[in-house]
Amino acid sequence: MKLAILQPLIPHYREDFFKRLNKEFDIDLFVYTNQNVVEKDNFKNATLAYSKLGSLQLFGVLIYNFFPLLHPKYKVLILPGEIRSLTTWILLFVGKLTSKKIILWGHGISVKNYIKEEKELLPIRILFHKLADHIWLYTEKEKAIWSKYINVNKITALNNTIDTKKILNLPFLNKQEIKDKYKIFTKLNLIYCARFTANRRIDLMLEVIKSVKDEDIGFIIIGEGENKPDFSKYEKVYDFGAVYDEDIKHELFTIADLYFQPAWTGLSIVDAMAYGKPILTFKRSNEVLQCVEYSYIQQGVNGFIANDVDEIIDYIENVTEDKLLNLQQSTLKFIESNLSIETLVNNATFGIRRL
């Protein structure tokens, strides 16, 4: 079966998924985002072959060249579940008039309006997804929400993840030797590894950094972005910028004890948990936006969800070594049991074969 998959871009963390899915189906990849936008947002592209479709944004509405997707060889189109895409609306109606099957792939819910929409989805979002033959959602929680509006047999929860086995199989490193190498001598270290975007509430991170009184607590920073603050003024912050060298990343995560991302927790927390790092973040609210992967965080099992800055500070200043070790071990067990690339591919394959 020949498939066409359209994405805004093909980030490096999707490479394993598409390679494995291509073993099950004959896939052509398409993107519509311009390279200059990719570079500006500090994305790292996958090293996969893909075709670029011309696109433009008009008053927030996406239009892309859909004619290559109409080729008769493509029996299934997998398109981003973006309701602001006029072209995707057109293709959904075209699918009704042809033999093409269309899968919409996305969150299925607005991250920015999550609290409101989890109670009642917008009618336009419901209509958009009902026009598809099948929908791929990232997590079981979103599937449960959507099952109130669409036949559950038309929904697949992918369990969105990366190739966690690659991280789980990394060799053991001596933590003290690595700390000495990087001259990181703080006893407890929190790590952040993500792009710096407006929704990640870095202001809350800075508030925590400024408010921590314990001189033996440090913060390791990996990432770049136009919203990145100047960390050089903070003595216990170790800023490494963007790190794509997997060996260096492995070493920095070996030093770290906990992963700290105040908001907009997505696949970065899966990455961190595969390294055995429990997640510290803030409770989802209208001010603190969280992506759908936030539902992976289980209080006391693989992380700690705080109501405010004071709770985060109290937690990191008082967590014991035994409690931290138990939390790290249960974090690894959670990843091994729930979030593997094999499960992701199997779920996706199952959804396609149901068409």
Maximum Cα–Cα distance across the chain: 66
Coil vs helix vs strand at 104: strand
In the beta sheet, which residues pair with residue 61? 58
CATH code that applies to domain 2-161+340-353: 3.40.50.2000
Q: What angle do CA 240, 245, 251 make, to 5 degrees?
A: 65
**Mean pLDDT of all residues in 35-56:** 73
In this predicted structure, what is the pLDDT of residue 1? 86
In CATH, the architecture of 165-338 is 3-Layer(aba) Sandwich (3.40)
Residue 302 and residue 279 in contact, taking contact as beta carbons nearer than 8 Å:
yes
Helix (H) or strand (E) holding 2: strand 2-7
Buried b (16+ CB within 10 A) or exposed e, 261-288: bbbbbbbbbbbbbbbbbbbbbbebeeeb
297-319, pLDDT tens digit by residue? 999 999 999 999 999 999 999 99
How many whole angstroms from its chain centre is CA 15? 14
- Asked if the model's pLDDT at residue 35 lies above 80, the reply is no
Least confident of 43-47, 156-160, 195-199, 242-246: 43-47
212-226, pLDDT tens digit by residue? 999 999 999 999 999
**Mean pLDDT of all residues in 168-184:** 97
Coil vs helix vs strand at 20: helix
Q: Where are the domains of the chain?
A: 2-161+340-353, 165-338
In the beta sheet, which residues pair with residue 26? 2
234-255, pLDDT tens digit by residue? 999 999 999 999 999 999 999 9
Residue 331 and residue 323 in contact, taking contact as beta carbons nearer than 8 Å:
no
Alpha carbon distance 334, 276 (integer Å): 10
Domains 2-161+340-353 and 165-338 share a fold: yes
Residue 70 and residue 94 in contact, taking contact as beta carbons nearer than 8 Å:
yes
